[in-house]
A and B are shown apart, each in its own frame.
Chain A
Amino acid sequence: MTHEQIHERLGEWLDGELDGSASAAASRHIDSCAACKSEVFRLRRLGEALFAAPAAADPRSTEAFVARVMARVSADTVSSWEKFAARFLAPAFGLALAGLLFTIYAPRPEADADAPLGVAALSADASSVFEAAP
């Protein structure tokens, strides 16, 4: 490998990503090349200056973190259930109710004396359900 080829891959060499023979060749070249040697120095410094491991999070704060995540998970679960209910259950319920009312109100040869009372109670319940829905 030439100086240019090795210079281009000094980062890979530093990261241990060159295979055995390429890595050995690069090591030999770096030992004898001032330009590559100083580039390696800068690359190392770059990693240390910008990425040196930040202080690990306090392990005691893990439980607080777990609690915050679980609070969001349960809020998320509730809201997705509500969304599901609003999107599918409410229309389905409405449709069923409409069907029921139609069956009850539909003109029939023999009117059932009990029907109007039952319908009145049912529609009162239904409207309160819909008002409560988001």
Chain B
Amino acid sequence: MTEASDGELARLAADGDDGAFAELVRRHAPRVRALCAATLRNADEAEDAAQEAFLKAHRALGRFSGEASFGTWLHRIAVNHCLDLLRAAGRRRSESLDALLDADSSVLARALTEPSPATTLEDRDAVARMLNRLIPDQRLALTLCEVEGLTYEEIARAMSCSLDSVKARIRRARAELLEMARHFSDSDIV
């Protein structure tokens, strides 16, 4: 028996076949969960966001035309959902986080200057706080580039924006992060 394609499963799911939708979730869960984890940097929030992305996809199945691949369509829903969450979190961000920034940037400054081979920063909270300083669109574009290895063209499609916006978002996100580290190195020397 040949495996049903995503498109066939999506059509069955749109007609109310929950088993077909469960199979789609099974196939695409790893990527969606990884995207949410990389973007949101909080295990519980990421897990919830990944579930919500599938829920949104389920509600929108009737609008899935089958022109794009189901994976691309679902990915776009997940990207937009993460972006909404980042924007909402940005509005809640408290000023008290600023006090933590000096210590965080020193961690980043060391990671950027150490001659030994780099490793991922162990302090996940510090990484999350630094990424929280970025504008959501910039943060998401850089995440899609660095974590998923998407081309700028693919990021533009996922974020429904122009190629030039993607270039600018990624460049600004990196400049902002390097500036955080640089700011610390400078004040450290003085």
A contacts, CB < 8 Å to B: 8, 11-12, 15-17, 42-54, 56-57, 59, 62-63, 65-66, 68-70, 72-74, 76, 80
Decide: A51 near B147, CB < 8 A? Known: A46-B177, A73-B21: yes
**Could you tell me the distance between the alpha carbons of A44 and B146 in the complex, rounded to whole angstroms?**
10
* In the complex, chain A residues whose CB is within 8 Å of the CB of B51: 65, 68-69, 72
Q: Which chain B residues numbered 33 to 84 have a C-beta less than 8 Å away from chain A?
A: 33-34, 37-38, 47, 50-51, 54-55, 58-59
6 example contacts (A-B, Cβ-Cβ < 8 A) are as follows A43-B178, A46-B112, A51-B38, A59-B30, A72-B51, A76-B55
B contacts, CB < 8 Å to A: 18, 21-22, 25-26, 29-30, 33-34, 37-38, 47, 50-51, 54-55, 58-59, 108, 111-112, 118-121, 127, 130-131, 142-143, 145-147, 151-152, 167, 170-171, 174, 177-178, 181
Contact A57 B33 (CB under 8 A): yes
Contact B25 A50 (CB under 8 A): no
**Could you tell me the distance between the alpha carbons of A12 and B126 in the complex, rounded to whole angstroms?**
26
A53 touches which of B18, B147, B167, B171 (Cβ 8 Å): B147
Contact B178 A42 (CB under 8 A): yes
Contact B170 A66 (CB under 8 A): no
* In the complex, chain B residues whose CB is within 8 Å of the CB of A49: 108, 111-112, 118-121, 127
* In the complex, chain B residues whose CB is within 8 Å of the CB of A54: 34, 37-38, 120
Contact A65 B170 (CB under 8 A): no
Contact A65 B143 (CB under 8 A): no
Residue of B nearest to A49 (CB): B111
* In the complex, chain A residues whose CB is within 8 Å of the CB of B108: 46, 49-50
* In the complex, chain A residues whose CB is within 8 Å of the CB of B177: 46, 50
